[in-house]
Amino acid sequence: MNEYVLTINQKEYRAEVSEINAEYALIQVNGREFRVDLQQLGLGKLMPVATMAAEARAAAPGAQPAGGVVPAPAAPPAPAPGDASSMVKAPLPGLIIDVKVREGEKVKAGQTIVVMEAMKMENQIQATTDGTVKKIFVKKGDNVAEGNAMVEIARSDMASL
């Protein structure tokens, strides 16, 4: 459990992070537990969305974050009906060693698309479906957290059935 002392408007609050993953963190502030949803901003960086600021104000009446609340970036658009794509996500935290594909390249299910180092081992991350690489979210040297999007694959018509 990680412990922190937060100073908000010259008042100190004790905070403990009891659990954190790619989607949320469980944080106790002065004995009150909050579930804080996390949203990826950039690669390998997790940051609380605006709801954390609201919950922090509730735990610390009168407190305001410096510069006000910065709204979370808009979520990526939901796939349109018939837009079949598959997101390949990091299975665990690690370092990107190599990206084996380019945007627009056709791939087959099981083909290695990213090589990452995690837990002192080299991991071959494979395409989950046949299709075309629509978007690459990582590059060599990037650190990724578990669940970070790495590659989006637009599935071929046959793979969408």
CA distances from 115 to 66, 125, 140 (A): 40, 6, 9
Residues 53 and 89 in one domain: no
Q: Provide the pLDDT for residue 100.
A: 96
pTM for the model stands at 0.48
Q: 104-123, pLDDT tens digit by residue?
A: 999 998 899 999 998 888 98
Which DSSP symbol is given to 104?
T
CATH code of the domain containing 116: 2.40.50.100
CA distances from 108 to 17, 93, 101, 130, 143 (A): 41, 25, 11, 4, 25
- Where does the pLDDT of residue 25 fall: very low under 50, low under 70, confident under 90, or very high at 90 and above? confident
Domain that holds residue 55: 2-59
- Count structural domains, the chain: 2
What 3-state class would DSSP assign to 137? coil
Q: 65-74, pLDDT tens digit by residue?
A: 444 444 444 4
